[in-house]
Chain A
């Protein structure tokens, strides 16, 4: 499979060779859609993508895991509810909670799976307007200290695609207050709240900052010619999502940029 951009030669990002040793597992469940894009994002950021299957009983030697978006098990029961009990998920939950603090990123359906797994608090319900929504979305990075946001700066605004039906983040006020107080609101919607999420929350982390979940899709904004800038020019760049992947790769190889 070629790693060249699909159009032109205009890729702006030169991946650092030293990152190739970092192995990022990308989990596929029945109904996952964005595993290929997530793996491609890992590779474009310079890392090595390792396909993981939901029925696997071992994580192998991966250094981090991405749980991509899609409709695992057709969103039956609740989004993420059945995937949460897949054999591989128990390994991921243990590794995320262990002293090694395996970095885990849940995108969209992956975020829903992480809340169902209780790795992240709260839950997602249907968008307040009841419609599926697909748009380019401006986010503010509120916390640049998590494993997945180190390459951003706090307060930085990025634009990445958003596409979901059950994207309304909810939790009770006590949980929301605790998330705010502990700096665990990692991303907030800017300008427009696309789904009625409480306090404009687009993504959160666990207390240790190794587990991050968000509804928008950074893995769809990693390549010149395919990101928000090319589509409607509302801001940001085509590659605003790449920082998620370079952040974790840099953290794994232990280097500072």
Chain B
């Protein structure tokens, strides 16, 4: 069954405390090449049957209204992934 993948990231100007904690932990494990980490969210919306334009539009609307908070987050990607 096809899925619609929605990726949400904290806005660039928003400090991401979780990413900051992760970037602090990486060098302790020997991963020294990464100067910054930002942590986002990935949603997978399963669709029964074909993904029509209308369903994709619904997914985009859901992404903007429920899956993300536009004050602190951006929807950076909405795409269909065939199973």
A interface list, Cβ under 8 A from B = 77-78, 81-82, 85, 115-116, 121-123, 125-130, 168, 170-172, 196
Known: A78-B69, A129-B17. 15 other contacts (CB 8 A): A77-B66, A81-B66, A121-B71, A123-B69, A123-B71, A123-B72, A125-B15, A126-B18, A130-B17, A170-B14, A170-B71, A170-B72, A171-B71, A196-B15, A196-B17
How many chain B residues touch A (CB < 8 A): the figure is 12
Q: Which of A78, A129, A168, A172 interacts with B13 by CB under 8 Å?
A: A172
> Which residues of chain A are within 8 angstroms of B14 by Cβ–Cβ distance?
125, 170
Q: Does B75 contact A (CB under 8 A)?
A: no
> Which residues of chain A are within 8 angstroms of B57 by Cβ–Cβ distance?
none
* Complex Cα–Cα for A42 and B15 (A): 37
Q: Does B21 contact A (CB under 8 A)?
A: yes
* Complex Cα–Cα for A129 and B17 (A): 8
* Complex Cα–Cα for A108 and B18 (A): 20
> Which residues of chain A are within 8 angstroms of B13 by Cβ–Cβ distance?
172
Closest residue of chain A to B73 (Cβ to Cβ) is: A78
The answer to whether A125 and B66 touch across the interface, beta carbons within 8 angstroms, is: no
> Which residues of chain A are within 8 angstroms of B69 by Cβ–Cβ distance?
78, 81, 116, 123
Q: How far is the CB of A116 from chain B (nearest CB, A)?
A: 7
B interface list, Cβ under 8 A from A = 10, 13-15, 17-18, 21, 66-67, 69, 71-72
* Residue from A78, A82, A171 having most chain B Cβ neighbours under 10 A: A78
> Which residues of chain A are within 8 angstroms of B21 by Cβ–Cβ distance?
130
The answer to whether B17 and A115 touch across the interface, beta carbons within 8 angstroms, is: no
* Residue from A77, A115, A128 having most chain B Cβ neighbours under 10 A: A77
Q: How far is the CB of B13 from chain A (nearest CB, A)?
A: 7
Top 7 nearest A-B pairs (CB, nearest first) are A123-B71, A126-B17, A123-B72, A130-B17, A130-B21, A123-B69, A78-B69
